[in-house]
């Protein structure tokens, strides 16, 4: 498990125990494995299929036991069909399945009908009690007819032992199924190519702004909203301060700027706040897909992975998503080989214009708050880069300086 991309505990030595085994048939079982190490115990979903003969693809083999070869089940077509059946999605036209490569936190299976990919299932590798926000939000948007998300088809739920609950059980989402988008391209790849070649991304950024505003508008219509009270404002501002304190401890350049950053946070806290609503929670260019002839689709509504799940499912400020996308434009510019500040500035202006046109006053009415969310995101990014890619820490630091200078 620790060698898999979806394993979240790479910063510590894992301490694993099997919490529960759900036997599907003689050859198929779903293991729920707890990692008790780290700050918060993490529960993983590990489906396994037993085979008599080793498959040609050695990378899908887990090991062997009792003369059987143990295979990572999503790669087994029989198990893949079971996933659809559990989600109450018809399987009679499905002819093949394959696991997508490149994912980090989950495992997705693409299904073809008559040779054409039409369906995709996402299996959550880390589990928690309660419905996953990816299911909650995408299903609500799909039912409301939003053109900016894939069509939702069904979800899979599970039950497992939990001694911390009065009932002794936890119930949560194991995965879900939605339409596959043929020819879709990752927004980050498209934007980065444009930045490296100094091609305008302005029209695409404007359309992204329209899509983000459209998703926020529907979420505000179909999910609960509330006025931002003093406790809400205090909790969000406390999050800003926690991330700043962490950055001050780990990134010396942030320590030098901490007073100016704190001043931005104080000003934003005292400014007018919009109503709180459900939001994407981790919106950036890697969470959007460009579909030929159909425009942008927004995906992966799980929220920021490092935030606790109770925080991810609370009503929040939609500006958090806007700030995430604006920072993503700056990142694409920073990663490209040459100075692309003008490129990023055009993306920013066009995205804001598209968002404002679709949702008048939502950004122009809260400039101080948007500034604080952007700065908070950039501060968080300095810690991430200092830990994982020290050579890149200059990208978010440049963002911090630009935001402070713009005041």
Question: What is the block-wise mean pLDDT of the chain (407 residues), using blocks of 10 residues?
Answer: 88 92 96 91 96 92 95 97 97 96 86 96 95 96 98 96 92 97 96 95 98 98 96 95 95 96 97 97 96 96 80 93 97 85 95 97 94 97 91 94 91
Q: What angle do CA 38, 175, 30 make, to 5 degrees?
A: 70
Q: Please report the domains of the chain, with CATH numbers, ordered by start residue.
A: 16-179 (no CATH), 185-405 (3.90.1200.10)
Residue from 334, 293, 317, 66 nearest 183 by CA: 293
pLDDT attached to residue 307? 73
Q: Cα(398)–Cα(92) distance, rounded to whole angstroms?
A: 54
Other beta carbons within 10 Å of 54: 12
Please report the pLDDT score of residue 288 as a whole number.
98
Separation CA 349–CA 381 (nearest Å): 22
Q: How far apart are CA 94 and CA 83, in angstroms?
A: 12
- Angle of helix 252-270 relative to helix 367-388, nearest 10 degrees? 160
């Amino acid at each position: 498990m620790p060698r898999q991309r979806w394993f979240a505990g790479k910063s510590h030595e894992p301490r694993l125990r099997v919490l529960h085994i759900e036997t599907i048939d003689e050859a198929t079982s779903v293991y729920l494995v707890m990692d008790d190490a780290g700050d918060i115990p993490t529960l993983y979903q590990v489906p396994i299929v037993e085979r008599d003969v080793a498959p040609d693809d050695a990378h899908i083999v887990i090991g062997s036991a009792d003369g059987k070869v143990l295979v990572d089940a999503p790669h087994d077509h029989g198990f893949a069909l079971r996933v659809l059946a559990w989600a109450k999605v018809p399987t009679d036209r499905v002819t093949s399945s394959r696991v997508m490569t490149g994912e980090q936190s989950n495992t997705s299976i693409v299904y073809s009908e008559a040779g054409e990919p039409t369906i995709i299932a996402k299996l959550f590798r880390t589990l928690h009690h309660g419905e996953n926000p990816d299911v909650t939000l995408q299903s609500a948007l799909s039912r409301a007819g939003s053109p900016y998300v894939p069509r939702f088809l069904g979800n899979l739920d599970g039950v497992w032992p939990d001694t911390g609950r009065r009932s002794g059980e936890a119930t949560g989402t194991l995965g879900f199924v939605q339409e596959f988008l043929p020819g879709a391209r990752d927004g980050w790849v498209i934007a980065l190519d444009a930045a490296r070649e100094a091609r305008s991304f302005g029209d695409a950024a404007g359309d992204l702004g329209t899509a983000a505003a459209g998703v926020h508008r529907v979420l505000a219509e179909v999910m609960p909203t509330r006025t931002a009270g003093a406790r809400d404002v205090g909790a969000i501002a406390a999050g800003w301060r926690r991330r700043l304190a962490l950055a001050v401890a780990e990134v010396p350049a942030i320590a030098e700027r901490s007073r100016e950053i704190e001043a931005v946070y104080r000003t934003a806290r005292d400014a007018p706040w919009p109503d709180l609503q459900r939001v994407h929670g981790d919106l950036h260019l890697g969470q959007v897909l460009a579909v030929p002839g159909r425009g942008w689709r927004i995906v992966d509504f799980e929220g920021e992975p490092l935030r606790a799940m109770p925080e991810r499912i609370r009503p929040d400020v939609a500006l958090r998503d806007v700030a995430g996308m604006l920072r993503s434009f700056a990142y694409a510019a920073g990663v490209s080989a040459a100075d692309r500040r003008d490129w990023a500035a055009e993306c920013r202006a066009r995205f804001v214009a598209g968002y404002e046109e679709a949702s008048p006053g939502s950004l122009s009415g809260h400039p101080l708050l948007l500034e604080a969310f952007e700065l908070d995101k950039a501060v968080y990014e300095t810690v991430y880069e200092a830990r994982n890619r020290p050579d890149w820490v200059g990208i978010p630091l440049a963002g911090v300086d630009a935001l402070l200078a713009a005041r």
